[in-house]
Amino acid sequence: MAPTNKFPLRTLIALTTIPALLVGGLLWYASSLLPSCETSQHARLPSPDAAFDLVIFSRDCGATTGFNTQAALIPNGDTLPDDAASFLSIGVTADLALRWAGPASIELTIPPGAQIYRRDESVAGITVIYR
């Protein structure tokens, strides 16, 4: 009779499932050690045509995050996502003077001396005017 090289199914399942569970558990534990960011919304101003909302917010990601104020455009009525991409980011907590100058332009007043991390001239086809 010829020898068979049959690998037992139980052994195969144990050798694949146990390491997968261990790696998954380790990744889950490691992700809990990473700091989570908290986003705080400070102001929201809908566009004249109700297509967008201009949102002023800040992010706090723990002790390594400095003071910041950011501005983003999101679809009208949507909640501000945690990963919202800002078109303006400054290194100070500030109440920005903001207004829609029309359906295609926004005016924002940045405090003098604020450290600017990002300052886009347009976003989603809308011109941004800084004062």
Q: What is the pTM of this model?
A: 0.72
Which amino acid appears at position 2 of this protein?
Answer: A
Q: Is residue 48 part of a domain?
A: yes
pLDDT band at 37 (very low <50, low <70, confident <90, very high): confident
pLDDT band at 44 (very low <50, low <70, confident <90, very high): very high
Q: Is residue 112 part of a domain?
A: yes
Q: Summarize pLDDT for 51-93 with one digit per residue, the tens.
A: 999 999 999 988 778 899 999 999 999 999 988 899 999 999 9
Task: Domain count for the chain, please give it.
Answer: 1
Q: Is residue 6 part of a domain?
A: no
**Residue 118 domain boundaries:** 38-130
At 129 the three-state DSSP class reads strand
In 3D space, the residue among 89, 90, 86, 87 whose CA is nearest the CA of residue 113 turns out to be 90
Are 104 and 49 spatial neighbours (Cβ–Cβ below 8 Å)? no
Q: Is residue 5 part of a domain?
A: no
Q: Summarize pLDDT for 110-123 with one digit per residue, the tens.
A: 999 999 999 999 99
